[in-house]
A and B are shown apart, each in its own frame.
Chain A
Amino acid sequence: DTAVSQTPKYLVTQMGNDKSIKCEQNLGHDTMYWYKQDSKKFLKIMFSYNNKELIINETVPNRFSPKSPDKAHLNLHINSLELGDSAVYFCASSPGTTGGLNTEAFFGQGTRLTVV
Chain B
Amino acid sequence: AQSVTQLDSHVSVSEGTPVLLRCNYSSSYSPSLFWYVQHPNKGLQLLLKYTSAATLVKGINGFEAEFKKSETSFHLTKPSAHMSDAAEYFCVVSEVDTGRRALTFGSGTRLQVQP
B88 CB–A CB distance under 8 Å: yes
B51 in contact (CB, < 8 A): yes
Closest to A107 in B: B44
For chain B, the bracket of interface size reads 20 to 34
CB contact list, B59-115 vs A, under 8 A: 88, 90, 94, 96-97, 99-105, 107-108, 110
Closest to B102 in A: A45
Among B42, B46, B97, B105, contact of A104 (Cβ-Cβ < 8 Å): B46
Which chain A residues (24-45) contact chain B, with CB distance < 8 Å? 31, 33, 35, 40-45
Choose one: A55, A98, A101, A105; the contact of B103 (CB below 8 Å): A105
Given A44-B105, A101-B51, A103-B94 in contact, is the A109-B100 Cβ separation under 8 Å?
no
Q: A98-B99, A110-B42 are in contact. List 5 more A-B contacts (CB 8 A).
A: A92-B44, A98-B101, A106-B46, A107-B43, A107-B44
Query: In the complex, what distance in Å separates the CA atom of A55 from the CA atom of B99?
Result: 9
> Which residues of chain B come closer than 8 Å to A100, judged between CB atoms?
96
Sampled A-B contacts (15; CB under 8 Å):
A42-B108, A45-B104, A55-B101, A56-B101, A90-B43, A90-B44, A94-B101, A96-B101, A98-B99, A99-B96, A101-B32, A101-B96, A104-B34, A107-B44, A108-B43
